């Protein structure tokens, strides 16, 4: 059966409509892409502003303003550093002080001369003072906790720690002098103790003060 003229005209009409539809879709696609790109750009900008606001709030929460450390945050940091330092020294001074306390109850202590006993008593007193100074920052922090004076507490705790280090140095020197006298009774004992004392001074104070003078920072 042969298709009529009306059928061919209908097919051509449908083909033209399909081509126009595809053309309109193709022409409208760049506009849709551009609109989608604008929306994504706006979302990105809005997200950036939100992130900036959130970062600002987090910075304030962390204690920084414009990249600078606040006084409260600085006091917290310095206190944590000080506590770590005190833990190291407390262990050593407590072991040394406990050892010194047991010496008086040994039979060999009664055979010591009066000079050695005097050195021992001085050593015990120095050890007790060092222990008190190094434990003092813990009691200071506990008593003034919550009073909003942490910056001042850090300053006083630092002074107590430095005093405790000086007393610990004296305790170690006296204990070494006493042990070497009791063990050898030789004339070179003072020279050995002087050499060890010089080494302590160099490691504990000389090198830190030299580094502070050479590489100091006002922001620390």
pLDDT digits (tens, 9 = 90+) for 76-131: 888 888 888 888 888 888 888 988 989 888 888 888 889 999 999 999 999 999 99
Q: How far apart are CA 16 and CA 13, in angstroms?
A: 5
DSSP for 158-192, written as a single string: HHHHHHHHHHHHHHHHHHHHHHHHHHT--TTHHHH
**Is the pLDDT reported for residue 6 higher than 60?**
no
pTM exceeds cut of 0.85? no
For residue range 161-177, what is the model confidence (pLDDT) as tens digits? 999 999 999 999 999 99
**Is the pLDDT reported for residue 39 higher than 60?**
yes
Q: How far apart are CA 9 and CA 7, in angstroms?
A: 5
For residue range 42-85, what is the model confidence (pLDDT) as tens digits? 665 555 544 555 555 554 445 555 567 788 888 888 888 888 88
pLDDT confidence tier of residue 220, bands split at 50, 70 and 90? very low
* pLDDT given at position 45: 58
């Amino acid at each position: 059966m042969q298709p009529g003229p009306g059928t061919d005209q209908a097919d051509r009409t449908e083909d033209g409509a399909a081509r126009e539809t595809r053309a309109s879709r193709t022409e409208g696609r760049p506009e849709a892409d551009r609109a989608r790109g604008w929306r994504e750009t706006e979302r990105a900008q809005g997200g950036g502003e939100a992130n900036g606001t959130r970062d600002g709030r987090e910075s304030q929460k962390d204690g920084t303003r414009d990249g600078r450390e606040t006084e409260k945050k600085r006091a917290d940091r310095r206190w944590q550093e000080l506590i770590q330092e005190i833990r190291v020294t407390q262990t050593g001074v407590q072991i040394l002080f406990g050892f010194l306390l047991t010496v008086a109850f040994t039979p060999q202590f009664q055979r010591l001369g009066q000079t050695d006993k005097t050195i021992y008593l001085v050593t015990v007193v120095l050890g007790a003072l060092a222990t008190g100074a190094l434990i003092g920052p813990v009691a200071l922090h506990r008593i003034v906790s919550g009073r909003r004076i942490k910056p001042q507490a850090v300053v006083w705790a630092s002074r107590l720690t430095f005093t405790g280090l000086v007393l610990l140095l004296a305790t170690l020197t006296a204990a070494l002098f006493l042990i070497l006298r009791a063990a050898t009774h030789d004339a070179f004992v003072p020279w050995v103790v002087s050499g060890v004392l010089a080494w302590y001074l160099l490691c504990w104070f000389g090198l830190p003060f030299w580094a502070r003078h050479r590489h100091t920072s006002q922001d620390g």
